[in-house]
Chain A
Amino acid sequence: MFSLLILLLAAAPPDAEAILRQADKAVLGETSVYTLRMTVVRPGKGDRVVEMRGWKKGDTQGLVRYTSPPKERGTAYLRNGESTWLYLPSGEKVVRVGAKQNFGGGDFSNADIFRLSLVLDYTPTLAGEEEMEGQPCYKLELKAKDRSVAYDRVVYWVRSDGTFYPVRAEYYTIAGKKLKWLTASDVDLLGGRRRPTLLTMENALDAGARTTLRFLAIEDGVKLDETLFAPSALERGE
């Protein structure tokens, strides 16, 4: 009898927030250091490829530094609390930028890059289970907690096979128009565990425009010092 109850409990679908939390940690851990390659694809123009190194501490602190191409080497973005900062070597000065401005000219915004976790801004509800990209997924409906959040609604598919890998996210405006969607794919062994290593953001308004983030190296659980995330530290080299 008891075991039946446990079985039942185990078989009950997990609560939406729990799913979201798990999904948020699927790609990058609580604290990580990573290397990634961003490719911006624009119809009619050549692809733009940027490689960068990133540091993430929790959900509110993050730093990214470009390492290649040489023209952009040294460019850095910093998120600390509510502020986002930009440092360009040619500018030689750290300037504050907006969270909703696009990151590096691609389809990710600064907020997208630095808060790949959604649980802080959204209230999730479980909307069922369906297959997405050939995999069985939980479908979550995320509603923005207030009107200052960029995307009023996000539809989020997370693998229901226990891995909680995000598979797809669709971002909608207040009016319900799909602005862009994110696909997580290429699950691979990286930094000691398996995770999706390719994030593709496609622009719903400009056909053919998309940006991909491919993780080349990830190190989880690194101890990161607070001073790393101070704006004054941006100007100093790596």
Chain B
Amino acid sequence: MPTAWLRYPGGATLEMMRLLGIAFRNLTRAKRRNALSGGTMVLGSAALVLGSGLSDGIARQLTDNLVAVQTGHLLVLVRSDDFIPQNSPFDAYGQELIPGAEEMAHRIEAEGKAVGVARAVPYLHGRATAMAGSRSSPAGVIGIEPSREPELRAAFPSIAGRFLADGDDLSAYVAEPVARKLRLGVGDAVSFVVQTPKGGLNSMDAVVCGVFKKNAPWYDATFYVTLRAAQALFDGAGSGTNIKIELRDGSTSGAHRARDAVARMVGAPAGVPPRSRVRVETFDEAGRFSFSIIQANEAALTILSAFLFLAAGVGIVNAMLMSVHERTREIGTLRALGMRRGLVVRLFLLEGFALGVCAAVAGATLGGVLVLRLGSQGIPMNTMTLAWMAGGDALFPVLRATSVARAAGAIALLSTLAAAYPAFAASRLEPREALQHV
């Protein structure tokens, strides 16, 4: 090993690279010990990736159901002044028709670009009695613009037939449980009878174009029809009960920031029933139900990860110290040859970093493979409890690059930090004592 560069004061990149190479090689010298501490870090990072995968999976499922399908980032709807939220998934549906909702949605989308609006999509939700043959069931009818609801289509994939298409004003896309209850298959006829907000009775006949696998338990009796058809059914041309707005900045803070601007655009339209108002709610307000589950999951994961790190950290420090102890003579030799303290510290830090990186990569890969495998099969949530918790019949863990990077980065950081104390301990060894160590 050339000794000339040992005298360099600073750390040029090339030198760092050489040091790093040495660090990696040193790792292979104490295979068992490094395998052990590395192994625990692999396990730790795999667990973190899996945990994040589960948490992200739940969040994605609920978000898909909530943000993409129901509330968007901002939701325009009519609320009565004495509305009390029930902590239920149905809180997000407006109780009355927003007069001129379609036109309002176009306006918000056109004028709202400046405040961050990406899309504004209206829909109409109402309660109906669905009838087929001699069977009937209370049901929710939701009128949508099919081409503008790709997330809904992805969230409720069809298990028979096909999704709605624009202009399919005589078709209905039916949830599997109510299809089973009314014995409906693709091509069968179903009738809806409703009381319109004004008070008249109206009805609609539809032909089932597709049946979808509902995931969340609260969509059991849902029929999707085109917005046009729903407007005719509930006797409200051009109206809707909700306008969901997608923002470019989809975070909670972004939504809260944009809300006031959108509320000004919406104003106070005429035609709203007395003691009710048009409101603009953020998704964490309108969708408190789902959002609260997501938050709870994330909090649980964060806290438990912290626990994990703490315990792992101490173990790694221990292992590193043992490494230093074992290599006392070697360190003495290096120092006797002129290696400065700073370099010794850097070397051990890099060893910690190297181990951490290897373990993190291995662990993240292991965890990632597990998540992908489970994510394609899905973990069945076969009791009602699990279904409510996960927002669906199956949980599909999701591999998110940021979560993986965060887990891997955290482990690598932990390993490097844990090596700090041992590194300093190593650097403080006096060459003479060290060389005498047996």
Contact = CB atoms under 8 A, between A and B. Distances in A.
B3 interface: no
B193 A148 contact: no
Contact of A174 (B131, B134, B136, B235): B235
A151 B201 CA distance: 6
A175 B199 contact: no
A175 B131 contact: no
Contacts of A11: none
A174 B191 contact: no
Report the interface size class on chain B: 10 to 19
Interface string A148-164: 11111000000000000
A147 B97 CA distance: 15
A193 interface: no
A207 interface: yes
A10 interface: no
Contacts of A173: 193, 200-203
Interface string B125-143: 0000001001010000000
A177 interface: yes
Given A206-B134, A207-B134, A175 B200 contact: no
B249 interface: no
A144 interface: yes
Given A205-B131, A206-B134, A207-B134, A100 B195 contact: yes
A43 interface: yes
B310 to A, nearest CB: 62
A151 B200 CA distance: 6
B204 interface: yes
Nearest to B200: A147
B237 to A, nearest CB: 11
Contacts of B205: 177
A175 B198 contact: no
A181 B70 CA distance: 40
Given A173-B193, A205-B191, A205-B193, A150 B201 contact: yes
22 contacts: A43-B134, A44-B134, A144-B200, A146-B198, A147-B196, A147-B198, A147-B199, A148-B198, A148-B200, A149-B199, A152-B200, A173-B201, A174-B200, A174-B201, A175-B202, A175-B203, A175-B204, A177-B203, A179-B203, A205-B131, A205-B191, A206-B136
